[in-house]
Structure 1
Amino acid sequence: MKTARAVPVLMYHHVSPSPGLVTITPENFRAQMGWLAGNGYTTIGCDDLAGFIAGKPLPAKSVLLTFDDGYLDNYVYAHPILAEFGLKAALFVITGRIGDGPARACAGEGTLPDTPAHNACKAAVQAGRADAVMLRWSEVDRMRAAGSFEFHSHTHNHTRWDQVEADPDRRQLMLVDDLTRSRATLQARLGHVTPHLCWPQGYFDDAHIDAAQQCGFSHLYTVERGSVLPHADASRIRRIVTKDRGAWWLGSRLAIYRRPWLGQLYERRS
C-alpha cells in the first residue's frame, strides 16, 4: 500500500445556499465530496492525523476535512452530503453557542430551516439568537451517530482574549477558564473530550499554546496555509482554506498539497 507523504487539512465554515464569506454552496460541496469519493480518497479523523504526525502511516490519498464554529447549515447541508458519500469530517464547535431543543430538518427531510449568510449569523449570535443559526446538541448527536462528523473544541466563547484584556496574567487566566469550560461541556455532552483544539480566527502565541497544553490540548489547529508532514509541530497544524468552487478546484489543490515539495513551492510563489 502506498502511504501518504503529506496530509492536506481542509478548512470549511458554511455549506449553505446563502452566499457570503467563508461559504460554499451545497452544489459545490457535493461536487467536491463526490470527487473525493470517486477518486479513492480516505477522509480521516483528527486522531488519525495525530498518529500520522507521530510517524504512523496513512493511505496515500488521505485528507482531513475540518469545519469551524458549529453553524446550523453544517447539519442541514454538509451532514447529509457526507453521509451520502460515506465520508466524515471534524467539527470544531464553540461549545458556549450550542443549544438545546429537538433536531431540526436536514436536506431530504422536508421543510428546511433558514441558514443565513456568515455576517447574518454573527449578528444573530450578538443579538442573543444563537439558536437560530448554530447547532443544537440533538443535532450533534445525530451527526455523531451517522458517523458524518466528530467533534472537538473551538473554545467555549470564541473570544480573542488578546483583544479583550491587556494584562497578560489576567488574560491567561481568562483563556484557561475558557478552555476549561469548553472541555467540561464536551465531556458532559459527549462523554469524552479530545486533545484537539482550533484557535478562534487562527490567532495564538506562546502564551496561548502554554494555556492549551495546561488544559490538556496537545494538537492545535491554525489558519496557517499548508499540508501536514510526518513529525510536524502538533502545536501549529496547518490547514487549507476551501473555495466555493467545484471538483476541479479541489482536485488541483490536493494534487499540490499531497506532494511536500510541490506544496512548499506553491506556498513560496503564492
Structure 2
Amino acid sequence: MQRPIPVLMYHHVSPKPGLVTVSPENFRAHMAWLAEHGWRSLTAAEFAACLAGAPVPKRAVLITFDDGYLDNWVYAHPVLAEFGLHAVLFLITGWIGEGEVRAHAGQGQPVPDVPDHKGAMAAGRAWQDAADPVPLDGAFLRWSEVHAMRDAGTFEFHSHTHSHTRWDKTIADQDARDRALSDDLAASRATLAARLGNGSAHLCWPQGYYDAAYQRVAQAAGFRHLYTTEAGVARGDTDPARIPRIVVKDKPAGWFASRLRLYGNPLTAALYLGLKGRK
C-alpha cells in the first residue's frame, strides 16, 4: 500500500479566535510535534515529484496556507523558522500590498494588530470593489514580507487566483465565465512571475469550488497541480488535478498528533477515509 502524504490546510494563525483560525499557541504545538517526531515538510516541487512516482519519504507532510494574511507573517513565520519547517502559501496575488516589512512575533517587539477572518475578507472585498489598496494593508501581506519569508525558507508562494472571485456565481454565460477565469489566472501567474520569478504550476481554488470547466481553464493556463478542500490524503496515484487536504482545527497537540498518526499510516488512513466516504 502506498505511503500517504497528509496535506495540511491552514488559513489564519492569530490570537483572535474565529473561522479557519488556529491560535499561535496551538500552531506552535503542532509544528513542535512535527519537528520532534521527525516529520519532513515537503516543498511543492518535492510533493509534485511524489505524485509523479518518486519515493515518498517516511513521515512526509505538506503544510499549506490559503489567502495570504498578515498574521501568516506575524505569527506563523517565526514558528516555522524556529522549527526549521517549510510551508506552501497560496496567495490572492491581487490583494498583496506594498510597503516596508512589519514586525513579527519572533522579534520581541510590539507586533501589528491583525483582523479576524471576517474583517480580513471584508477588507479584501472593499478593496476590490473600490480599487483602493489602502484597506488591505492591515489585513494581508506586503510583497516585502513575501520576499522575507521566501528568503528565510519558511514559505514558498503559489496561486490562489488574482481576485478570489467565484466566477460561477458572477457570470452565467459559460464562455464569458471561462474567459474571466482565464484572465484571472493569467494575472495571478504573471504577478508571481514578475514578483518572485516563478509563474507557478500550483493553484488552490477559492472556497474550494471547482468544476470540469474550471479544471480545463486552469490546465490551459499552465496549472498542473490543483488543490481542493476535499478531505483525504495524497498518494502516488492521486490525481494532480484534484489534490485533497486536511483541515487543521484550533486544537492542542494531542488532537493534532492523533490526526497525523491516523492519516500518516497507509492502513489506518485507508480505513478511516473509506468509512467517511460511506457516510
TM-score by length of 1: 0.97
Cα offset for 1:120? 1.2
In the other structure, the counterpart of 1:64 is 62
In the other structure, the counterpart of 1:85 is 83
Instruction: Tell me how far apart the structure 2 counterparts of residues 261 and 224 of structure 1 sit (CA, whole Å).
Output: 20
In the other structure, the counterpart of 2:130 is none
In the other structure, the counterpart of 2:213 is 207
| Equivalent AA in structure 1 for residue 246 of structure 2 | I
Question: Conserved in 1, the CA contact under 8 Å of 2:115 and 2:138?
Answer: no
3-state DSSP class of the match of 1:224?
coil
Deviates more, 1:51-60 or 1:123-132: 123-132
3-state DSSP class of the match of 1:50?
helix
Instruction: Tell me how far apart the structure 1 counterparts of residues 215 and 156 of structure 2 sit (CA, whole Å).
Output: 23
Cα displacement string for residues 129-165 of structure 1 (whole angstroms, at most 9, x for unaligned residues) = 1111000000001000100000000000001100000
| Equivalent AA in structure 2 for residue 170 of structure 1 | A
Residue among 221, 239, 248 paired with 2:245: 239
Instruction: Tell me how far apart the structure 2 counterparts of residues 55 and 80 of structure 1 sit (CA, whole Å).
Output: 33
Cα displacement string for residues 55-102 of structure 1 (whole angstroms, at most 9, x for unaligned residues) = 101321000000000000000000000000000100000000001110
Question: Conserved in 1, the CA contact under 8 Å of 2:67 and 2:89?
Answer: yes
| Equivalent AA in structure 2 for residue 90 of structure 1 | V
The root-mean-square deviation of aligned C-alpha atoms, in Å, is 1.2
In the other structure, the counterpart of 1:13 is 11
Structure 2: segments with no counterpart, 5+ residues: 128-134
3-state DSSP class of the match of 2:113?
coil
Residue among 150, 157, 166 paired with 1:151: 157
Instruction: Tell me how far apart the structure 1 counterparts of residues 16 and 145 of structure 2 sit (CA, whole Å).
Output: 21
Cα offset for 1:4? 6.9
Deviates more, 1:246-255 or 1:216-225: 246-255
3-state DSSP class of the match of 1:91?
strand
Structure 1: segments with no counterpart, 5+ residues: none
Question: Conserved in 2, the CA contact under 8 Å of 1:4 and 1:59?
Answer: no
Aligned-residue identity in percent: 57
Q: Number of paired residues?
A: 268
| Equivalent AA in structure 1 for residue 206 of structure 2 | P
| Equivalent AA in structure 2 for residue 79 of structure 1 | H
Question: Conserved in 1, the CA contact under 8 Å of 2:2 and 2:266?
Answer: no
Instruction: Tell me how far apart the structure 2 counterparts of residues 4 and 103 of structure 1 sit (CA, whole Å).
Output: 43
Question: Conserved in 2, the CA contact under 8 Å of 1:4 and 1:61?
Answer: no
